[in-house]
Amino acid sequence: MHRAPTISRRDFLRVASLAAAAAGVSLLPGCKKIPEYPTCSYQPKQISFSGYDWLVKCNGERVGPGPNYFSESPENVYVDREGVLRLGVTRRGRAWHTSEVYSPHSLGYGTYTFEVINPPADNNTVLGLFVYEDDFHEIDVELARWGKRDGHNAQFTVQPFDVPGNMNRYEVAPKDVKCGFDWRAKGIDFFLSSGGKEIGWNYRGKSIPEPGMERARMNLWLMGGEPPSKNKEIQVGIRSFSFSP
């Protein structure tokens, strides 16, 4: 009869500690360590906001945009008592977690309107309000500085962005924002108002997408997956979302 190999208690604890460290937890009594990497449900978490159901994006590894870790944690995505959707960028150990929600199905042509509370002022943080199927079928309103200090902190984009005439950038007041777009077969009319200033752009180019597998989305993420410029956690509020065909 062969005996099973034995391992000392010291070696066992050493191996267990290494495994726990890799998982981002602690074995020390009384110590709790929040996992560095997002823990995701088997099925996407669902929330209700502004009269619609939304799914919460979650990935245990870095994915686009960014790339970033997207978390379903209530510290990153939740609806508060006043019905405001809160999206956060949070720090977990050495990792930064970002947030995104998306509609379960296509809404198609129509007017998409978003009301934003305290848009991000951080140079590396992007708030995206958009519809997306893939990188060639996407309509964006983005509140972001893109790491630049030229004053521009908002943009309208029809993907692909590198086609001449598919993107316009603006400077808007760092206050509450109402924005969106009216998407039709013959054109896309963007709109934004903040601090008494109103901006509009009528797109009639060749990149207008057709409805298909796209989803309405809202996300808060870090450019290049880099930490916020001030190395502090960030939260943005979405007061409402509305859609009319």
Q: Which domain holds residue 220?
A: 46-244
Give tens-digit pLDDT for 204-213. Answer: 999 999 999 9
Q: What is the total count of domains within the chain?
A: 2
Q: What sign has the CA pseudo-torsion 242, 116, 221, 154? A: positive
Residue 230 sits in the same domain as residue 110: yes
Report pLDDT digits (tens) over 70-117: 999 999 999 999 999 999 999 999 999 999 999 999 999 999 999 999
Residues 129 and 94 in one domain: yes
pTM score: 0.85
Q: pLDDT band for position 215 (50/70/90)?
A: very high
Task: Output the domain CATH number for residue 71.
Answer: 2.60.120.200
What is the pLDDT at residue 25?
Answer: 42
Q: Are residues 205 and 185 located together in one domain of the fold?
A: yes
- As a whole number of angstroms, the distance between CA 33 and CA 223 comes to 27
Do the domain assignments include residue 41? no
**pLDDT at 30 exceeding the cut of 50:** no
Domain membership flag for residue 40:
no
Q: What is the dihedral of CA 185, 187, 189, 190, to 10 degrees?
A: 90
pLDDT in the model for residue 56: 99
At residue 20, the 3 state secondary structure works out as helix
Structural domain includes residue 133: yes
pLDDT in tens, 46-67: 999 999 999 999 999 999 999 9
